[in-house]
Structures are given as C-alpha cells and as structure tokens.
C-alpha cells in the first residue's frame, strides 16, 4: 500500500473527502517528524513507538573495491511494534 492508497482508505474509513484525509495524514507525519528531530519518543500504546537511535561510527568496506571506508556516527529513526500490533500480525500469519 502506498501513500495514495492509504489516504484513500483513510478517507473511506472516516467518511471524509480525500483532501481532508490527506491533510490529516500529512499533519500526523509532520508532528512525528518534528518530535523525532527534537529527540522525543512518540508512543501509541498497543501500536508501537517511534524514537531516534544512535549509530556509532564504524569501518565498512567499499563493495566494488573492498577498500575499508569510515562510516560516520549518525542518528536514525526507529519504529518498535507494540504487543497488540504484533499479536494481530501473528494471528493473520497463522490463517
């Protein structure tokens, strides 16, 4: 499912125009992004949480030449699924 399909499903679920659903989704994604930039954690009980994870600097290899390269430290967004979501996915997998 891509963003357009998601917006369409959201509009149908909420019985609102597609433009309104698109603005709502855009607002939610914007808020999540802003909070992650600030270093905050966002948690939706049962669904999951978004947070920023730190990756240490490390040495990697250039896949074409095999030469070692230095990969700098970085911060990356991370999502951890909540127990309710995990249970739903697992139950669907067993059908």
How is residue 52 annotated by DSSP?
A: E
User: Which pLDDT does position 20 carry in this prediction?
Assistant: 97
Give the domain range for residue 7: 3-94
Distance in angstroms (rounded) separating the CA atoms of residues 21 and 12: 9
How many structural domains are present in the chain?
Answer: 1
pLDDT in tens, 25-58: 999 999 999 999 999 999 999 999 999 999 999 9
Q: How would residue 78 be classed by pLDDT, with cut points 50, 70 and 90?
A: very high
Helix axis angle for 18-37 and 3-14, nearest 10°, is 120
CA 24, CA 16: separation in Å to the nearest integer? 11
pTM given for the model = 0.80
pLDDT at site 93: 73
**Averaged pLDDT, 61-76:** 95
CATH at residue 83: 4.10.520.10
């Amino acid at each position: 499912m891509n963003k357009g399909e998601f917006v369409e499903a959201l509009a149908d679920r909420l019985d609102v125009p597609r433009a309104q659903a698109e603005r709502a989704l855009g607002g939610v994604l914007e808020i999540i992004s802003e909070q992650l930039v600030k270093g905050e954690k966002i948690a939706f009980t049962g669904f999951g949480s978004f947070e920023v994870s730190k990756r240490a600097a490390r040495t990697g290899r250039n896949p074409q030449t095999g030469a070692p390269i230095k990969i700098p430290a970085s911060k990356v967004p991370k999502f951890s699924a909540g127990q309710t979501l995990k249970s739903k996915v697992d139950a669907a997998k067993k059908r």
